Amino acid sequence: MNGRRVVVTGLGAMTPLGNDVPSYWDSIVNGRSGVGRITQFDPSPYTSQIAGEVRDFDPSPFIKPKDARRMERFVQFSIVASEEARKDAGLDMAAEDPDRVGVLIGSGIGGLNVIEKQHAVLMERGPSKVSPFLIPMLITNMASGHVSIRLGAQGPNLCIATACATATHSIGEAARIIASGDAEVMITGGTESATTPLGLAGFCALKALSTRNDAPERASRPFDAERDGFIMSEGAGIVVIEELEHAKKRGARIYCELAGYGLTADAHHMTAPAPGGAGAARCMKRALCSSGLNPDDVDYINAHGTSTRLNDKFETAAIKTVFGDHARRLPVSSTKSMVGHLLGAAGGVELIAAVLALQKGVIPPTINYENPDPECDLDYVPNTARELEVNVAMSNSFGFGGHNATLLIKKFLN
């Protein structure tokens, strides 16, 4: 990336596979699924009745009960994951200039649950009974807002909403803020909790979700010929990133360097990707260009890999366009096969998977890959994790509206 160098120093996650990073990583490298029948409400009337839910979530160690009642679930996830990332980074706000620490946490949908509940109040009891906390609970920027309040971070404070590309755009733009000199540290990523009656109904109406209700663990099957849609999931993926010299000065453990970032628009359709993955290909090329790396330098791609017919086909085509002959030798896996699709938080938890693959030399698998699709013919690391030295990794996110984002990370050497 142009400007000052940016490194990753802290990781935090809330996922259907565990409420912290170690649990999440252990599950994905062992090929476990976090998908099950929805428990937050009765899903029986819906065509898709399964999702990836965060289980056993108790915010009370981090958030006072009174405060929690005034925060939507997606905000609570961001606070808990941010605190894990801050501790992991060893970031002591008392030792930092608060004006040089910022927050950029996005959400694709925001507070859908409180909208549904308060609309029912309005219809049944009238406008005077609507909660005064409705607006500050539903707006997507409250994840960034509450995290900055808790930390006392007074630097740049933003929120990005680009559907399924939200977290990846958030991390990329946060890195640009640091590279340009506007902050030394950014807490960044994405958070989402939209598995509500209305949210599920909307995605069912789009016919975007898997209806493999009788076998939820096998429902998310990216690149498999029998894939039939994605799995709605919830959670948060947050990273601490900082300027290299700042990290070194305070003795931080450095996971990796953020080497490149690309972003493009399909300018094609509300929900369908551009034919041939043209926008995705340009996005990956831009990330490579900004990094100064060559296609052959990339050792692993954490794919967007949603388990939908067109996305998987066109992402495969885009990878072939960008990487040429190297595409045949390049491991590509979709951790959505295990964790489902966290929508605006997806890019955060997927970057964390890529960071740990690079650090630990283990590539998470694509589970449920059983029936090869002639149009999806790359190495998808089927069903079992693979030990492999990873020096450079790529993470892709592509969102409704034609929003494309790609991050490149590399091992930190000096």
Q: What is the pLDDT of residues 297-323, one digit of tens each?
A: 999 999 999 999 999 999 999 999 999
Which helix (H) or strand (E) is 137 found in, with range? helix 134-138
Q: Supply 216's token pair.
A: 């939820």
Instruction: Output the CA–CA distances (angstroms, integers) from residue 265 to 145, 303, 319, 348, 400, in the order listed.
Output: 28, 18, 17, 20, 10
Whose tokens are 């004006």? That residue is 99
> Which residue in 146, 169, 246, 341 is the catalytic one?
341
The domain ranges of the chain are: 7-249, 262-410
Q: What is the pLDDT of residues 80-108, one digit of tens each?
A: 999 999 999 999 999 999 999 999 999 99
> Which residue in 146, 169, 246, 304 is the catalytic one?
304
Q: Supply 177's token pair.
A: 């803020």
What global pTM score does this model have?
0.97
Secondary structure (3-state) at 277: helix
pLDDT at 176: 98
Residue % of the chain over a pLDDT of 70: 100
Band of pLDDT at residue 413, cut at 50, 70 and 90:
confident
Helices (H), 262-345: 278-291, 309-323, 336-339
DSSP string across 161-184: --GGGHHHHHHHHHHHHHHTTS-S
Cα–Cα nearest to 48, from 277, 232, 276, 291: 232
Active site residue 146: no
pLDDT at 177: 98
CA pair distance 172, 177, nearest whole angstrom: 9
Whose tokens are 């009891």? That residue is 125
Q: What is the mean pLDDT of the chain?
A: 97
Q: How confident is the model over 107-112, as a mean pLDDT?
A: 96
Q: Which CATH superfamily is domain 7-249 in?
A: Thiolase/Chalcone synthase (3.40.47.10)
**Beta strand pairing status for 101-106 and 185-192?**
parallel
Contact 249, 65 (CB under 8 A): no
Residue 375 pLDDT more than 80?
yes
Beta bridge partners of 257: 7, 410
Residue 414 pLDDT more than 90?
no
Cα–Cα nearest to 184, from 96, 252, 256: 96
Residue % of the chain over a pLDDT of 90: 99
> Which residue in 164, 256, 283, 376 is the catalytic one?
164
Q: Supply 231's token pair.
A: 């799995």
Active site residue 304: yes
Contact 159, 140 (CB under 8 A): yes
Q: Supply 78's token pair.
A: 């961001």
CATH for 262-410? 3.40.47.10
Q: Do domains 7-249 and 262-410 have the same CATH topology?
A: yes
Q: What is the pLDDT of residues 180-196, one digit of tens each?
A: 999 999 999 999 999 99
